[in-house]
Amino acid sequence: MAVEGSPLKLYSFWASTCAQRVRIALNIKRLNFEYRAVDILNGEHLTSDYLKLNPVGFVPTLVDGDIVIADSFAIIMYLEEKYPQHPLLPSDLVKRAINFQAANIVSSSIQPLQNLIVEKYIEEKCGVVEKLSWVHMIIGKGFLALEKLLTVHAEKYATGDEIYLADLFLAPQLHRAIETFNVDMSKFPLLSRLYEEYKEVSAFQDAAPENQTDAPAQNSC
Ligand SMILES: N[C@@H](CCC(=O)N[C@@H](CS)C(=O)NCC(=O)O)C(=O)O
């Protein structure tokens, strides 16, 4: 839960899928954190002060005392090891590997290819229609892989009846695809069902873009 003055500080942007993963992890583990908004649409992630925390100029960043971690995967692994309550990885070796695989499909084969910096570049060079076509192609390719992979492993959630790492990465990417880019989900029945499951879980609801303090009062994301 976001609580002013907590020892853990999360630099976040309401609509960032990468920050949303970390917000879900913090909520699942019932860790209070101070929410520090970084407006990436207004370039606050590129100020010299913020770049001292996150040299690549992205959100999220977690600060825990003297420790600064500037990548969502690294942050979630740090939280997992420091706060073992509600493990985010199953003990079964194969299920762990599937969680890493699903998380990495999102974090290396979808999100970086449709990150804000990429979207802006394509829009400037080729226009908004080309940008949207690119985003839909990238998301569709990644979702097809996830749908195939998880059909074998999913139960209530992506890899079983417990919420694990794969779910933390999937939920924000599904939110972005459906709410922002209006992706046709008819080819992805499993992912569509998982998206509905996540909406029922308070740790996911509280982490949703529209429920962040820096979200615009009215938005469609
Ligand atoms: N690998 C990084 C990626 C972080 C990232 O791409 N963050 C996006 C928001 S989801 C961002 O800050 N984008 C700003 C930009 O593209 O200029 C992580 O997982 O934390």
What pLDDT is attached to residue 182?
A: 97
What pLDDT is attached to residue 25?
A: 98
Atom 9, ligand 1: residue with shortest CA distance: 16
Which atom of ligand 1 is found nearest the CA of 117? 16
Domains of the chain, with CATH numbers?
8-87 (3.40.30.10), 93-204 (1.20.1050.10)
Separation of CA 92 and ligand 1 centre (Å): 30
Q: What parts of the chain have a pLDDT lower than 50?
A: 219-221
Instruction: Enumerate residues lining ligand 1, CB below 6 A.
Output: 16-18, 40, 45, 58-60, 71-73, 107, 115-117
What pLDDT is attached to residue 27?
A: 98
Separation of CA 89 and ligand 1 centre (Å): 23
What pLDDT is attached to residue 217?
A: 83
Separation of CA 118 and ligand 1 centre (Å): 11
Which pTM value belongs to this model? 0.96
Sheet containing 34-37, strands listed edge to edge, beginning at the edge strand earlier in sequence: 34-37, 8-12, 61-64, 67-69
Classify the phi-psi angles of 46: left when phi > 0, otherwise alpha if psi is within -120 to 50, otherwise beta: alpha
SS3 of residue 35 by DSSP? strand
Separation of CA 12 and ligand 1 centre (Å): 10
Per-residue model confidence as pLDDT tens digits over 93-135: 999 999 999 999 999 999 999 999 999 999 999 999 999 999 9
Atom 1, ligand 1: residue with shortest CA distance: 71
- Residues 197 and 156: beta-carbon distance below 8 Å: yes
Per DSSP, helices labelled H in 57-188 are 72-82, 93-109, 116-126, 128-151, 165-175
Separation of CA 60 and ligand 1 centre (Å): 7
- Which of 42, 72, 115 to mutate for ligand 1's pocket (most ligand atoms within 8 Å of CB)? 115
